[in-house]
């Protein structure tokens, strides 16, 4: 029914690069597959690794409108799928003259005019190309997940009064999760699973280079290296990609060209959000050679 959007995996990768999203092999491959198999993608991973950004970038790449459903505790049908505009319905009833029979009014009341579209329905009924982003799906209760199942597997919404609304075209669907709870099997089964982890050093450096204007190669390299070293420590919260970018931006603003232990310690609060983590990092930055030797695996 829908034409495939992408030619090949490298094409996806290239396309994403053009909109400043540096995808690795896995990400590009799964986006490509999602399009071919017409399945949603469940993106999971630590906060700040570009899960939401992926959906945005894909939308930008294929020139589609992004429809976003932010999930939260207590999200219900009326906020996610559709709602009847009951105020307007009341008005309609009041406006009924004697001429209209009740059955006419009733038919009229549950027609398109009185239907308020919410993101999921909107995505299904859209005529133009859309990308649907269901953000932080782990925040809704397990029971609410069921709302999503119909749309995820069959791309349709059943409205009792109207019947089933079929998708005009299959949208690309992204679900993101921070993994605060285990998602139900039913949901997972319907999706392709993509785990987005912190990027490796090379990719992170490239990300910094693309996203931070005017940064020198040398500084970007240093930033990426320091962040990698930090992530190897046992921290309460490892620095995310967005924090790396913040840090790189800060360094640029401060006009620093070479990161030394002192600047690193001084600006560590941008990378790390817990006092104990910062203290640990500062200790690591300042570790002298003697200290280093102790940790280095020496000759037997």
Binding residues (CB under 8 A) for another protein: these are: 7-10, 25-26, 29-30, 32-33, 36-37, 39, 41-42, 44-45, 73, 179-182, 185, 188-189, 191-195, 201, 222, 225-226, 228-229, 232, 234, 236, 259-261, 264, 274-276, 280, 284-289, 292, 296-300
Q: Taking the CA of residue 164 as centre, how many other CA atoms within 13 Å lie in the half-sphere pointing to its CB?
A: 7
Closest CB to another protein among residues 106, 182: 182
91/236 with CB nearer another protein: 236
In sequence order, the β-bridge partners of residue 165 are: 157
In the complex, what is the shortest distance from the CB of residue 296 to another protein, in angstroms, rounded to a whole number? 7
Regarding beta strands 156-159 and 130-135, do their DSSP bridges make them parallel or antiparallel, or are they unpaired? unpaired
Nearest approach, Cβ of residue 39 and another protein (Å):
7
CB 291 → another protein: shortest distance, Å?
A: 8
Give min distance, CB of 69 to another protein, in A: 20
Q: Cβ closer to another protein: 113 or 217?
A: 217
Q: Cβ 297 to another protein, closest distance in Å?
A: 5
Least distance (Å) from another protein to the CB of residue 170? Answer: 15
């Amino acid at each position: 029914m829908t034409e495939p959007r992408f030619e090949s995996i490298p094409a996806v990768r290239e396309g994403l690069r053009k909109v400043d999203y540096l995808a690795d092999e896995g990400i590009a491959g799964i986006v490509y597959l999602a399009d071919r198999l017409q399945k949603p993608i469940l993106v999971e991973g630590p906060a700040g690794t570009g899960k939401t950004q992926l959906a945005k970038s894909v939308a930008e790449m294929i020139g589609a409108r992004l429809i976003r459903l932010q999930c939260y505790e207590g999200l219900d049908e009326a906020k996610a799928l559709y709602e009847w505009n009951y105020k307007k319905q009341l008005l309609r009833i009041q406006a009924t003259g004697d001429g209209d029979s009740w059955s006419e009014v009733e038919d009229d009341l549950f027609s398109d005019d009185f239907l308020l579209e919410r993101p999921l329905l909107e995505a299904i009924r859209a005529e133009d190309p859309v990308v649907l982003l269901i953000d932080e799906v782990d925040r809704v209760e397990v029971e609410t997940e069921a709302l999503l199942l119909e749309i995820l597997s069959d791309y349709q919404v059943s409205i009792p009064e109207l019947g089933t609304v079929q998708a005009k075209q299959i949208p690309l669907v992204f679900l993101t999760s921070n993994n605060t709870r285990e998602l139900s099997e039913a949901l997972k089964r319907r999706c392709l699973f993509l785990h987005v982890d912190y990027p490796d050093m090379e990719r992170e450096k490239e990300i910094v280079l693309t996203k931070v204007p005017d940064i020198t190669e040398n500084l970007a390299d240093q930033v990426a290296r320091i962040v990698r070293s930090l992530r190897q420590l046992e921290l309460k919260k490892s620095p995310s990609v967005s924090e790396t970018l913040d840090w790189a931006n800060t360094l640029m603003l401060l006009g620093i060209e070479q990161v030394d232990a002192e600047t690193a310690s001084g600006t560590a609060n941008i990378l790390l959000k817990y006092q104990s983590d910062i203290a640990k990092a500062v200790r690591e930055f300042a570790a002298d050679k003697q200290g280093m030797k102790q940790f280095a695996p020496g000759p037997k």
